[in-house]
Structure 1
């Protein structure tokens, strides 16, 4: 009998970083609703505990692991926890990210460092943590959440943020070309999507501009969650390499 699309998600073990709110939370809920066993990672475990309880009450399988993606040891612990709880890792959704926007001339160097640590190193650390087990089992799916700011530089306030998302695109495409072993790689690049990401700017002028932009354009986090589900549910020999989605009203 030919496997149904539902079968391609049910029973899979999926790690979702940045799962306490927004895109990550919605993605975890959607995957769990389709029968995936979800491993939820974020620094804020209080929110994760509530989400795990809700998923379990709905008949799903979930665990929470406190994780700072800028620390490689935390990602190694996260992968080990997934294997200990569920025996394998089938999907990694590298969703955790930060977006502190400001013009370069404001010289918010500490924020640049944090953006690089989370948005680039966090993605690489996640890949490093899951790749050995995926290679050993001959299958897996790494989904990296980037941004339309990785397609066009988000000037005049998002140059550093764009640089990190351009890097995620390069990492994703290079990984896809290199890896083989039945491992799929997808990059999802959203536009203005409702999430706490928009609240990361400490520069008042930039923060006001971002708020106005999101208020005028944002679409629900479910929009990204559905895109992730679409990529995961494909047959094992189909790799959806890239998804770009924006609000209809967004011109950037």
Structure 2
């Protein structure tokens, strides 16, 4: 049965990578997607692509590190479609570095986007989902939130934080308010993620990862699997990774 159809889904980080692939997958299966990211050109192009393929899509330029902008995103969705069924917190930074090099500004960027951006999204949708009597919050974590590798320190810390946030949501909101809280943790994905790494010392540690990377569409399908559940079924945690990734 298709439980994706007719759902109204807010998706952050939608302009590229996992977010873009997930938007296409969900729209193809009948969801109305509200796309959020900072790059308006990419958002508009993706929205037009979905509409040209017969899907339903809206977009709003949003910096999820700014609480007021996330609140405005949810208000825009309510004004445009009337409800929010699912929030997918997909926006994130993956900036690996060695402790010796103290990339403090990069640490702050990951904390602001990966943790605060997730929290702002949750805070914005919870009142509406509680009023509806149901909803879904899906946080896109990482395999780095389950195992720590060299150069992963702060990035892993932010993804472990997302695990804690999701589990706490589950204890309070899933049990008491029928709001499903799920975590999807990808392994190494074939995107352009290595281009964002500035620490030269860590690049040699990571250089072989792309050799085992899987296509982003597999992560999108996994997120779709979580979305495609009735209100009384909860998928708690899913790890999707290359078979040969350690």
> 2:183 matched to which residue of 1?
187
Q: Deviations over 1:11-64 (max 9, x none)?
A: 110011101111000000000001000000111110110000000011111111
190, 201, 205: which one aligns with 2:201? 205
> 1:100 matched to which residue of 2?
95
Q: TM-score, normalised by structure 2?
A: 0.96
Q: Is the 8 A contact 2:4 2:30 kept in 1?
A: yes
> 2:156 matched to which residue of 1?
162
> 1:15 matched to which residue of 2?
10
Looking at structure 1, the residues matched to 64 and 192 of structure 2 have their Cα atoms a distance apart, in angstroms, of 17
Q: Deviations over 1:104-132 (max 9, x none)?
A: 11011111111100010010001001111
Looking at structure 2, the residues matched to 196 and 113 of structure 1 have their Cα atoms a distance apart, in angstroms, of 21
**Deviation (angstroms), 1:81:** 0.9
Looking at structure 1, the residues matched to 124 and 218 of structure 2 have their Cα atoms a distance apart, in angstroms, of 27
Moved over 3 A (4+): none
Query: CA separation of 1:197/1:76 partners in 2, compared to 1, >3 Å: closer, same or farther?
Result: farther
Looking at structure 2, the residues matched to 171 and 215 of structure 1 have their Cα atoms a distance apart, in angstroms, of 29
Looking at structure 2, the residues matched to 65 and 209 of structure 1 have their Cα atoms a distance apart, in angstroms, of 37
Looking at structure 2, the residues matched to 236 and 227 of structure 1 have their Cα atoms a distance apart, in angstroms, of 18
**Deviation (angstroms), 1:197:** 3.2
Q: How many residues align?
A: 244
Q: Which stretches in structure 2 are left out of the alignment for 5+ residues?
A: none
SS of corresponding position for 2:208: helix
SS of corresponding position for 1:63: strand
Q: Is the 8 A contact 1:146 1:189 kept in 2?
A: yes
Looking at structure 2, the residues matched to 37 and 208 of structure 1 have their Cα atoms a distance apart, in angstroms, of 42
Q: CA RMSD in A?
A: 1.1
51, 54, 57: which one aligns with 1:56? 51
Q: Is the 8 A contact 1:95 1:144 kept in 2?
A: yes
Q: Is the 8 A contact 2:144 2:156 kept in 1?
A: yes
**Deviation (angstroms), 1:214:** 3.1
Q: Is the 8 A contact 1:144 1:188 kept in 2?
A: yes
> 1:115 matched to which residue of 2?
110
Q: Which moved more, 1:68-77 or 1:193-202?
A: 193-202
Q: Is the 8 A contact 2:141 2:159 kept in 1?
A: yes
Looking at structure 1, the residues matched to 221 and 19 of structure 2 have their Cα atoms a distance apart, in angstroms, of 12
Looking at structure 1, the residues matched to 11 and 93 of structure 2 have their Cα atoms a distance apart, in angstroms, of 15
Q: Is the 8 A contact 2:135 2:231 kept in 1?
A: no
> 2:42 matched to which residue of 1?
47
> Does the alignment pair 1:34 with 2:29?
yes
Looking at structure 2, the residues matched to 96 and 81 of structure 1 have their Cα atoms a distance apart, in angstroms, of 18
Q: Is the 8 A contact 1:21 1:196 kept in 2?
A: no
